[in-house]
Structure 1
C-alpha cells in the first residue's frame, strides 16, 4: 500500500482522471464477464485482466519515470521552476535539445502568490498554510495538498544538487515566480553552486514578438515548448547571482515570510502583500459586464466569471483564488447562489437583489 500511495501521489490532476477512466473501463469488462470467471477464466478474462495489469504497471512505473528528472551526480545544470505546466514544457524542450542526460529539474508545484507564507520555514507555519488551502481552496487542494510534504520534497531535491552543477532559476514578472525565486535563493544561500536567474517570458517576448503579432506572458507556464527550447539557448546570457544578490533575495524572503497576508502581487519590480479582498471589486465589475444565459433568471456560471477574470487580469493569481473570493462574496451576502459550491462548475451566481 505504501508503494501504491507513493505512485498515486505523483499523479497530476489530468493523469488521475485518465487512469481512473481506463481502470474503470477495465473493471467494467471484468464485471460483465464475472459469471464466466470460474468456468472460462483463461478464455474470456485474459484480455481485460491484461489491460488492468498494464494500467497497474504503467502507474507503478511513474515514480521511476519522474525520478529521471531529479538531480543526479553527473548533472551539469539543474533547473528550478514553478508549476507542472511549465515543467511539462521544459521537459519537452530539453528533450528537443537532447539535453536530458545532464539537465535535470526541480519543479515547485505551489502557487506562492496565494496562501499564508508566515513562518514557512517552520512546521507550524507549514501547517497554517496547509490548513488555509484545505479550508478555502476547493479545487484539488482540499484533500491532496500538504505543505509539509511539499516542503520536505523541495529540500530533498535541493540537497541532491551536485556541487558542479549550475543552478538555473526560472522566473518572470508575477508574484508566484518572484516569491519562489526568493525562497530558492534563501534555501540555497550556503551552496557553492553558480546560480543563474532567467526570465523566460521576457526572453520569449524579445525573441518572438513583432509589431503585428505579439504575446505578453503573465507566467512561464504559458510558454509553449518550441519557444522555450529557443529560450534555453540563452542560459549563458542569464543573470549570474552574486553573493550580495543572494543575500538580498534571502533577506526579502525573510520579510515575506514575516507577513501574515494571503495574497501577493508583483508591481513595479516589487513584491507587495495586498488585502485578501483586493480583487473583489474587479470580480464584481466583470460580473456586471457579462450577460447571463436566457432562462437563468440572471444567474451566471461561476466558472464563466472566473474564466473572464483570469483572462483579463494583468497579474497571475490563479483561478482557485478567484473562485475562493466568489464564495466569500456569497457568504458576505453580496452575491446569490444557485447550486452547490463544491467546485466552480457546479454553481451559478448573480448580484443579490433588494
Structure 2
C-alpha cells in the first residue's frame, strides 16, 4: 500500500506529455522483455536483464520526481517567488531561470488547474473542492484521471504559499485569458495582507512587445505557449511589472469571491473581466468548425474527434483547453446532434459527424 501511495503521488505531479513519455518508455521495455523471452537461448536472467534494469530505472526516477520538484519550492533564503498557471509554463520558466543562472534564488509555485473550466463555487471549503473534483472526474476524460483531487491541489498550493518568506519578492504571472486571470484573483485572495512586494507580469504582452514585428508576429493566448528563450527576456523585465497595492489586492480578492459565488463551469476573459458564460457557449462554434472540415474519403463522412478539437483549439481566441472542447463534443453526441463511431474514452478513439435524418 505504501508503494501504491508513493506511485500515485508521483504520477499526479506529471503533465500529460510526461505521462506519455513514461508510458512509451515502459512499453518499449516490456516489448523487449516479450521478444527476448521468445528467443530465449540462455538463462532468463541474462536475456531480460537490460530491459528489466531500464524498467527499474524508470520506476526509481518516477518515485524520486517529487523530491526533484521540491527543489523549486519556496525556501527561506530565496529572493523571488514566481507564481504561475500550468505545468507547461512552469517547465519553460524553469529552463529560462537555468539559462539566467537564477535557480538558487528564484523559486516557483505552480497552479496546475485550469480555472477557466469547472465549478469554482465555495472553493475555499472542502465541500466546494469536492464538487469541483467530482465534476472533472465525471466530465473530463483528457488530461485528468482517477488520481485527480482538487483537495490535494488546493492543499499543496496553500502549503507552498505558506513557505514564502517575508523578504521574497512575489511575481504573479498572468495573461489575457480566464484561466490565468482567475488564478491571479485566487492568489491575491490567498496572499491577503502579506508584507511582500507583489508584482504582476503579463508574459504574453511582454513577449509580443519584444519580439513581434509588422512582418512577423505571434499573438499568444496563454503563457504556456511561450518558449523558454523568449521567457528569459521577459524575466529580465520583471521589475517593470505592475506592483499591487493593498487596494489592488482587496479588489482582486473581492472579484475572486464574486467568481466563487457563481455556479457555472465555463469562464472567458472579456473586457478586462472574468465572465461566466453558459456551458454550451462553444457548441455552435464547434459545429461550424465541423461543417468546414473535409472528412477523409471512404469513412462515410466521419471525422476524428481529435481533428475537430484541434481545429477549434487552434482558431479560438480564448484559452479554454482541448479537454473542455472534447467534453462538449460528447455532450453534442449525447443530445443527438452528432453521431459517433468508436468509443468516447478519449478524443483519439472515436469519430463524429452530423446526425443524418
- Say yes or no: TM over 0.5: yes
Gaps of 5+ in 1: none
SS at match of 1:216: coil
Q: Which is worse superposed, 95-104 or 13-22?
A: 13-22
Give the structure 1 partner of residue 91 of structure 2: 88
Which of 94, 99, 107 aligns to 1:104? It is 107
Give the structure 1 partner of residue 144 of structure 2: 141
Q: Which is worse superposed, 28-37 or 75-84?
A: 28-37
Give the structure 1 partner of residue 228 of structure 2: 225
CA shift, 1:43, in A, is 4.8
Is 1:210 aligned with 2:178? no
CA shift, 1:141, in A, is 1.6
Cα deviation per residue 1:95-125 (whole Å; 9 max; x = unaligned)? 0100000001111110000000000000000
Give the structure 2 partner of residue 15 of structure 1: 18
Give the structure 2 partner of residue 117 of structure 1: 120
Give the structure 1 partner of residue 324 of structure 2: 321
If the length of structure 2 is used for normalisation, what is the TM-score?
0.94
CA shift, 1:30, in A, is 4.6
Distance 1:23 1:310 in 2: 30
CA shift, 1:35, in A, is 9.8
CA shift, 1:337, in A, is 1.2
Indicate if the aligned counterparts of 1:135 and 1:142 stay in contact, CA closer than 8 A: no
Give the structure 2 partner of residue 157 of structure 1: 160
How many residue pairs get aligned? The number is 353
Is 1:286 aligned with 2:258? no
Give the structure 1 partner of residue 70 of structure 2: 67
Distance 2:292 2:157 in 1: 42
Give the structure 1 partner of residue 201 of structure 2: 198
CA shift, 1:51, in A, is 2.6
SS at match of 1:143: coil
CA shift, 1:29, in A, is 4.5
Indicate if the aligned counterparts of 1:126 and 1:148 stay in contact, CA closer than 8 A: yes
Gaps of 5+ in 2: none
Indicate if the aligned counterparts of 2:79 and 2:106 stay in contact, CA closer than 8 A: yes
Give the structure 1 partner of residue 247 of structure 2: 244
Distance 2:233 2:309 in 1: 33
CA shift, 1:46, in A, is 4.2
Is 1:261 aligned with 2:255? no
Indicate if the aligned counterparts of 2:37 and 2:47 stay in contact, CA closer than 8 A: no
Indicate if the aligned counterparts of 1:77 and 1:102 stay in contact, CA closer than 8 A: yes
CA shift, 1:158, in A, is 0.6
